[in-house]
Structure 1
Amino acid sequence: MKILLSTLLLCLFTSILHAETLKHKTSALETNGIKVEFFSSSNYGVITPIGCSYCLQKTYKFYSDININKKGKTTTLQSLLAEYSRAKYPTIFINLDSNVVYKLNY
């Protein structure tokens, strides 16, 4: 009886954990390059992927609180705006529910 109850609880816990991970659908898209524009008056920007066969849109929106990593270290939006043209194979992480970029690695 204890084994049956333990197995049932384990299955229940696993399904709850799996449901939590599916709540926020995300996708990582590797590109050959990007073009970045930021509109400080509106506090949002647009990323245009270059050479991305899996991208479903021509542009993706992002906000100023985007998480930006350059070679594994966090960097600023100003740094990205100055260096995006030299980024090799940047990866954009997109929330599929809102089509907003929440993270960028380059």
Structure 2
Amino acid sequence: QISFVIRPTAQVEMICLTDAIEGQNISIEGTPHALNGAKEIKAERKENGKLNIRLYNEKGEEIKSKGYVFIQIPIPKNTKAPYRVKVDGKQTTFEETDKGSVIFASLL
């Protein structure tokens, strides 16, 4: 089974939140509903090299998204295509990237 999440193309309000890790930007983009009141994201790299991205509301409380958001993460330096990223627990392969990053949709 294949599922697709399509970025809205109509006049839909989208909010972009960013954080930097190791000098590279990570961004989350979604509708106000999907972001569930998120005002900030925090990204950290675990000891095993995996990225952990969390959403926070204006009170600094960790929250979950109410819908799919678009996540843009940098490709590690010296990594060649195909790029493999674990998305929602499943290994996902990306052949092409946008300026050294991959973009995918997920629930946070």
Alignment TM-score > 0.5, same fold: no
Compare the two structures and name the one with the higher helix fraction.
1
Q: Which has the higher contact order (CA 8 A, sep 6+)?
A: 1
TM-score after normalising by structure 1: 0.30
Compare the two structures and name the one with the higher strand fraction.
2
